[in-house]
A and B are shown apart, each in its own frame.
Chain A
Amino acid sequence: MKTDEVYEFYSTMNEDSFNLIYLGQFDDELTSIFLEINDVAKADQGSFKKKVSFLIAECFQNIIRHAEDYNQDQYLSSIPKMFMVRDKGHIHHIVTTNLIHNRQKEELANSIGSLQNLSREELKEIYLNALANNQRTEKGGAGLGLIEMARKSGSAPSFDFQEITSELSNFFMQVNIPEKGFEGPLTDETVAVDSAVEIYQKMQDDGIILVQKGDFSQDSILPLIQLFEGNLDLMASNVIFKKKALYVLIEMLQNITRHSNEIDNRKQGILIVSRREDGEYEISTGNYLSAERAEVLKNNLDEIVDLDKIGLTKKYKEQLMRPSEEGAGAGIGLIEICRNSTERLNYNFYNIEDDLKFFVLNVKL
C-alpha cells in the first residue's frame, strides 16, 4: 500500500471517532476479542457499552451461522466476510456481511421492512408473538434475532445487497445505535449503508484484512494484537513468521502510543493490515506528530533505512549500549522494524497545520 493511499483512506473516515473493521474468515474466538475492544473503547459508558456488546455478539454469531452454509464451496467460502464497529457522530454502527441466495432477497427485505417505523411496544409485541408461535426459519430463530436487534438498537437495521453471481449476493446489514440522550430522528443519511459497502470493496480490492481508526492507548492495542494473532492462526502461517509479524506490529502500535500528538485528548491514528496474494503481510500506521518531532523522526529514518544487515546490527548494538533516557523509546524500535522488514520501509509526512504533520509508515513482512 502506498503511503498516499493510507493517508487517503484515513481521510475518508474523517467523521468517525472510532472504526474497527475486520475482513476475512471468522471463528467464534474472535467474538470475545471484539467484545474486549468495545469494552476499552466505551470504558466510561456503562449501560450503553452493555447494549453495544450484546449487539456485537449477536451480529457476530450471525456471520458465523450463515458462513457455515458455504464452507464446502472453495470459491464461496473464500469471499471475505466483514465485521465493522463504527462510531460516527452520536450514532454507533455495527455492520456485517453474509452471502444470501438471490431468491431469498425479497423475503429478507420484507421481513426487515416489517420492523421499520415500529414503536418499542410494537416491537415487543412482535417479539412475544414470534416466541409464542415458535416461528422458525430453517436457520433456527433468525427471525427472532432480527427482532431482537431492532429492539435493542431501537430501530430496524438498514441493509443493502451486492450481487456476486446470478445466484448469490452479499447481504450488508447495518445496526444503528444512537447514543443515550440522542434526540433527533435517524435520517436516511445517518443510517445509509453506502459508505460501508465502499469500504468493503476498497478492502477487498487491496487485500486489507484489518483496520482500526481511533485511539491508540496501551489498553486499546492489546486486543488488536490478539486479533492479529487470531488471523495469523486462521491463515495457518508458520510460527517463525508469526513471531516476527507480531514483533513488528507491536513496535508500530507502541510507536503511536508513545509518540503521537494528542488530538482532543486521544492518540488518534490508524492501523491497516493487508495480506497480499503471495501470503505477504503489509502493516501501515498513521498518526499525528508535531513538526519538531516529525523532523527528528525523519532524520532517524533516513539514517537507517538504506543500511544493510551488518550496518543495522551495528546500529542496534550502539543503541543498546547507550545509557537509557527516561521515557525515550531508545530508537531500537525503528531499527528492529527495519531488520525484520522484507523491503525498504516506505514513509511520508503530510502537512495538516503549521505545526502538525501526519506520519505514515508502511512495512512489508
Chain B
Amino acid sequence: MSPYLCKGTKSTPEINFDAQSAHFVISGRSMPEDAYGFYKDAISWMENYIDQPQDFTRFEIKLEYFNSGSVKQVFVLLCMMEEILQTGKEAEVIWYYKKGDELMHQKGHEFSKFLDLPMKVQEN
C-alpha cells in the first residue's frame, strides 16, 4: 500500500500516512472551507488500511489550529483507530499541543474521553 501524502498550506495541514511503518502524522493548521472534501481521500485511504493494519499503529496529531469542520473529520479518522483495536491489533494516538495552548489541550482531553483507545495528550 503506497503512503498517503499531502503537503501543508496556510489553511490545510500536512498529512503523512505511511502504511509500511504504520506511522501517521497530521500537522499544521487545518481550516479548509470544505473539510469534508479535503479529508475525503485521507479517510478512504484509512478505510483500506484498517482492513489489514500492522501490528502496532501510531497516530500523531500535531495541530496548531483546526476549524469545526476539521474537528469532525479528524474525529472520524480517530474512530478508525478504535476499529483497529477490535481486530486484535494495537493502536495508539498521541495528541500534541504547544505550551500554553489551552484550546488544543482541552480538545485533546475531550477527544480522549469520547474515544475508547489509548491516547496520550502531551506538550511538545
Contacts and interface: CB of A to CB of B under 8 A. Distances in A.
Partners in one complex: yes
A222 B68 contact: no
Dominant secondary structure of chain A at its interface with chain B: helix
Interface in A309-335: 313, 317, 319-320, 324-330, 332-333, 335
B103 interface: yes
B122 interface: no
A313 B114 CA distance: 11
Contact of B33 (A243, A254, A328): A254
Given A243-B103, A326-B36, A327-B36, A320 B71 contact: yes
Contacts of A228: none
A305 B17 CA distance: 39
B97 to A, nearest CB: 10
B11 A222 contact: yes
Interface in B91-119: 100-104, 110, 114
B69 interface: yes
A333 B69 contact: yes
A332 B72 CA distance: 8
Contacts of B75: 320
Contact of A222 (B10, B36, B67): B10
B121 interface: no
A258 B33 contact: yes
A327 to B, nearest CB: 6
B76 interface: yes
B11 A329 contact: no
A246 B66 CA distance: 10
A83 to B, nearest CB: 23
Contacts of A218: 11, 32-33
A246 B71 CA distance: 15
Interface residues of A, number: 28
A317 B10 CA distance: 28
A250 interface: yes
Contacts of B34: 258, 327
Contacts of B27: none
Contacts of B72: 319-320, 324, 330, 332
A257 B11 CA distance: 14
A239 B64 CA distance: 13
B103 A244 contact: yes
A251 interface: yes
Contacts of A317: 114
B55 to A, nearest CB: 29
B65 A254 contact: no
Nearest to B102: A240
Given A257-B33, A258-B33, A324 B67 contact: no
Contacts of B65: 243, 246-247, 250
A16 interface: no
A320 B103 CA distance: 17
Given A222-B11, A239-B101, A332 B69 contact: yes
Given A240-B102, A244-B103, A332 B71 contact: yes
Interface in A248-266: 250-251, 254, 257-258
A336 interface: yes
7 contacts: A239-B100, A243-B102, A258-B33, A320-B71, A324-B36, A330-B68, A332-B68
